[in-house]
Amino acid sequence: MSPSLHITVADPREPAVAALVLEWLDLSAALTPAAESRHAFAVDRLADPRVTFFAARDGDAVVGCGALYRHDDHLGEVKSMYVRPSARGRGIARMILARVEEAARAAGLQTLSLETGASFTAALTLYESAGFVRCGPFAAYRPDPLSAFLTKPLAG
């Protein structure tokens, strides 16, 4: 990890962080044109008290983000995982995911799940290498050929 790289809890409404989230939302819309198949949270939704939002910064530049959404006392969901293309290949997404999982464990959650694009090969590789396994839809999700669902038990 670069000495200038740090991942902290952040307010998604902070202008530089919100700009990164909007960049992710724009990319998500371009990659998944069917609106009903996009499940990314907007900035205001990421400010919900049930969300712990993380920003990765390289010096003063916001280069990545990720969040934990607590559905209830047992289930957490990984949300808004994104690293700017210029910062990829440095393990930043893996570090953010580790912070999300750490927060889920600290909250006493038993399961951490996620939804991502079925064609997002790099994301699927990251999640599977971190111990997530494919599963069916969870919470309010419905089957969708454009979505992949993964889960990881935290208890035990």
User: pLDDT tens-digit profile of 54-63?
Assistant: 999 999 999 9
Identify the CATH homologous superfamily for domain 5-153: Gcn5-related N-acetyltransferase (GNAT) (3.40.630.30)
- Output the average pLDDT for the chain: 95
How far is the C-alpha of 63 from the C-alpha of 77, rounded, in Å? 21
pTM, two decimals, is: 0.94
User: Looking at the predicted structure, is the pLDDT value of residue 12 above 60?
Assistant: yes
pLDDT > 70: percent of the chain = 97
User: pLDDT tens-digit profile of 15-54?
Assistant: 999 999 999 999 988 888 888 888 989 999 999 999 999 9
Over range 58-73, report the average pLDDT: 97
Edge-to-edge strands, sheet with 75-83 = 5-9, 51-58, 61-70, 75-83, 111-117, 147-153, 133-135
